[in-house]
Structure 1
Amino acid sequence: MMVKKPAKKRKKKRVKEPLTDELLDELLSAPDPRAFTSKHRLTSRDLPTYLNQLLDERGLTRAGVIRAASLNETFGYQIFVGQRGASRDKILQLAFAMQLTLKEANRLLQAAGANELYCKRRRDAIIIFCLTHGYSLQKADEELYRFGEETIC
């Protein structure tokens, strides 16, 4: 009688992204920007694609993220499929719901066409602190309120 070993859970391989400074040096020494953008397959990152990539990477569900972000269900689904745009605060709600890193949150904001978080702005500094310390959306709003800043929700 043959005993089956439990299947090993495969980790997704993360592609190591080159440093921005390295890419900038390469771009500046390239004879043509087209060659550089083709070589690195640079395209604009759209919001629905990045949101769905994050869902896959983190093993999250759309419904769970929309609920955790305190978004209207219909509106949330429309953001995920690209039927509706979202304000900067709605994107931040999604970032907290998905427990994104600062870098991921800024990429998400960028994909949505919104300004990235900037530590020289008081409100943004509080949001950055909350994101990097793993605060929930509710706790981040409490911190913003405590400092007299406009809340996210």
Structure 2
Amino acid sequence: MKTTDELTHEISQSDNILDYFAENRSEMQLDSLPEYLDKWLKQKKCSKADVVRRSNLTKAYVYQIFLGKKFPSRDKIIALAFGLELDEKEVQVLLKQAGYRELYPRDPRDALLLYAIGHHQSIINANELLYDHNIEVLE
């Protein structure tokens, strides 16, 4: 798998964008969010019910996301990441797949979330950590 920098360099050096696409099709993110989420479910060997329980989101909302009927906010994607028990790198990938910016360690809220994720804390513990630092909790 190529890095983003490598792909960016190839685009800048390419004389024909169609050739770039043909050569790098396997590097492209072509799936929809529900398709990505289904892949994460299989990879993590968990059920949607597990995600509901661990994400602190309602069952109806989670199922609508998985059906593509709702497009979640960045905070909801992070909550789903807690529900899927993703590690730091996996959370960053999921955020990118959903079209959101990655968690940024210089942002105090993102740093606390990265800490909670990296220490395998639940979303409840993450929200307590945010609350204790007077920072907006995940809704």
TM-score by length of 2: 0.87
Residue 130, structure 1, aligned to residue 116, structure 2: yes
Equivalent residue letter for 1:24? T
Residue 30, structure 1, aligned to residue 17, structure 2: no
Select which of 47, 64, 69 maps to 2:55: 69
What CA distance in whole angstroms lies between the structure 1 residues aligned with 2:88 and 2:107?
Answer: 15
Is this contact kept in 1: 2:29–2:97, CA < 8 A?
no
What CA distance in whole angstroms lies between the structure 1 residues aligned with 2:19 and 2:87?
Answer: 32
What CA distance in whole angstroms lies between the structure 2 residues aligned with 1:39 and 1:101?
Answer: 30
Unmatched segments (≥5 aa) in structure 2: none
What is the RMSD of the two structures over their aligned residues, measured on CA atoms?
A: 1.7
Report the Cα offset of residue 78 of structure 1. Answer: 0.5
Compared CA separation, residues 38 and 101, structure 1 to 2 (3 A) = farther
Residue 39, structure 1, aligned to residue 32, structure 2: no
Residue 79, structure 1, aligned to residue 59, structure 2: no
Is this contact kept in 1: 2:54–2:122, CA < 8 A?
no
Q: How many positions carry a matched residue from both structures?
A: 137
Residue 59, structure 1, aligned to residue 45, structure 2: yes
Report the Cα offset of residue 80 of structure 1. Answer: 0.7
Equivalent residue letter for 1:149? I
Tell me the percent identity: 35
What CA distance in whole angstroms lies between the structure 2 residues aligned with 1:34 and 1:130?
Answer: 42
TM-score by length of 1: 0.79
Whose helix proportion is higher, 1 or 2?
2
Unmatched segments (≥5 aa) in structure 1: 1-16
